[in-house]
Amino acid sequence: MKSEPTTLDQMWDWADSALTRGVRDRRHPARHPVLATLGPHGPEQRVLVLRGWDGASVRLQTDAATAKVQELSADPRCSLHIWVPRHALQLRLTARAALTHGSADDWDRMPDHAREVYGGTPTPGTPMPHAEAFEPGAELGRYMILTLSCSRMDVLHLGPNLHRRALFSNDAEGWHGTWIAP
Ligand SMILES: Cc1cc2nc3c(=O)[nH]c(=O)nc-3n(C[C@H](O)[C@H](O)[C@H](O)COP(=O)(O)O)c2cc1C
């Protein structure tokens, strides 16, 4: 168990290392962030696998036929939520998503079972007469990468005696943070 983050640099380091661990470690809670988007019925949320973090942007993967792709095409604003219980750390990232098709090289390296989440009939969200009516499939054209360019990160640490919260903003000079009331 780490001690407590007492400086803004440590708050940032805790957040950055949670995201880095989430990409590498399947058992880390940051592996499964919740992505929130704006849909026609209001806010929508769902769990995704965290695939990449480079210090400023997050990479996720999805089926191009899902509702989230339509939602992000209409409005790229989104947010990502992560809770790391053992570090009592909550991260809330504000971002804009860019949508690109996954590469054929990455597709070729993917095992068959992993490809099957990008495809299938009918497309996600379509009503079906029964649960078994879905036919799995793997379609390179539906393999989509979501790149979330993060403009803000709200980091909350629940300490035993003090709750600390910092807001980091990303501009042309990089990330800078300030303490805010928890
Ligand atoms: C543990 C877990 C991991 C998931 N990982 C992904 C993922 O990486 N990409 C994805 O598109 N959906 C993933 N899903 C499914 C989504 O949560 C969601 O049900 C699906 O993408 C349809 O979402 P939408 O209709 O809002 O677009 C995952 C679900 C769970 C429970």
Express each pLDDT in 148-158 by its tens digit.
999 999 999 99
Determine which residue's CA is closest to atom 14 belonging to ligand 1.
48
> Is there a contact between 146 and 97 (Cβ–Cβ < 8 Å)?
yes
Q: What is the pLDDT of residue 1?
A: 57
Residue 13: C-alpha distances to residues 7, 19, 34, 91, 180 (Å) = 10, 10, 21, 12, 17
CA distance linking residue 178 with residue 165, whole number of Å: 9
CATH superfamily of 8-180: Electron Transport, Fmn-binding Protein; Chain A (2.30.110.10)
Residue 45 Cα: closest atom of ligand 1: 26
163 in contact with ligand 1, CB cutoff 6 A: no
**Å from CA of 48 to ligand 1 middle:** 5
- Domain boundary assignment for the chain: 8-180
Determine which residue's CA is closest to atom 11 belonging to ligand 1.
62
For 78, phi then psi, to 5°, come to -155, 170
pTM of the shown model: 0.97
67 in contact with ligand 1, CB cutoff 6 A: yes
Q: How confident is the model at residue 104 (pLDDT cuts 50, 70, 90)?
A: very high
DSSP 125-168: T---SSGGG-B----GGGEEEEEEEEEEEEEEEE-SS-EEEEEE
DSSP 63-97: ETTSHHHHHHHH--EEEEEEEEGGGTEEEEEEEEE
Looking at this protein, which amino acid is placed at residue 107? W
Express each pLDDT in 64-99 by its tens digit.
999 999 999 999 999 999 999 999 999 999 999 999
Express each pLDDT in 118-161 by its tens digit.
999 999 999 999 999 999 999 999 999 999 999 999 999 999 99
Give, in degrees to the nearest 5, the angle at Cα 77 between 59 and 42: 120
pLDDT at 172 over 80: yes
pLDDT at 166 over 80: yes
| Cβ density class 115-137: b for 16+ within 10 Å, e for less | bebbbbeeebeeeeeeeeeeeee
**Å from CA of 70 to ligand 1 middle:** 14
Mutate to test the pocket of ligand 1, among 34, 35, 38, 47 (most ligand atoms within 8 A of CB): 47
Residue 170: C-alpha distances to residues 60, 109, 143, 173 (Å) = 20, 34, 29, 8
Determine which residue's CA is closest to atom 4 belonging to ligand 1.
48
CA distance linking residue 172 with residue 117, whole number of Å: 37
49 in contact with ligand 1, CB cutoff 6 A: yes
